Structure 1
Amino acid sequence: MAILALIIIGAAAGFIATRLMNLQTDLVTTIAIGVLGALVGGLVLRFLLAITGLAVGFVGAILGAMALIWLWETYGPKRR
């Protein structure tokens, strides 16, 4: 069932992509373009999300550390 769904989605994606790029292809090539494009696009998106996820985590860690420093300086024990 998943393979059939991949072929149907690939055919639709390939059809739209070939029309947007003004490329005239046969049905098999259109489906192949769509399926391979879905695989490449999925891998690229996962890679970008992983990178941005790490970057967001790093920025969040810095902001969290800054908040703790501020709390410590504001409400922590006072030094003389």
Structure 2
Amino acid sequence: MPVVWLIVIGAAAGFLATRFMQIRLGVVETVAIGIAGAVIGGLVLRFLIAMTGALAGLVGAVLGAMLLIWLWQTYMRR
């Protein structure tokens, strides 16, 4: 069940992050960025703020996905 939850939160985070960053990606890329962002952002946010719950995970996932999108746009698209 935690894996399914990670995919659901990752998909939502990827969708929100791509909309905030104003880029269009395919479904697979959006979910992958969201899951990676969920892992990175969730761990960092929970470590720094020591918050628990789905809302903290979603906020961290969106922030992590936005960070990955920014890094990708800055360093990989040149």
TM-score (norm 2): 0.57
**Structure possessing the higher relative contact order (Cα contacts under 8 Å, 6 or more residues apart):** 2
- What is the CA RMSD across the aligned residues, in angstroms? 1.4
> Deviation of residue 10 (structure 1)?
0.6
Per-residue deviation at 1:49?
A: 3.4
Identity of aligned residues (%): 60
Task: Find the aligned partners of 2:5 and 2:44 in 1 and give their Cα distance.
Answer: 21
Q: Distance in 1 between matches of 2:42 and 2:9?
A: 13
Alignment length (residue pairs): 50
Q: Distance in 1 between matches of 2:12 and 2:22?
A: 15
Larger radius of gyration between Structure 1 and Structure 2? 1
Give the gaps of 5 or more residues in structure 1. 51-80
Match of 2:18 in 1: 18
Question: 1:21-64 deviations in whole A, cap 9, x for unaligned?
Answer: 001100111001111101111222233237xxxxxxxxxxxxxx
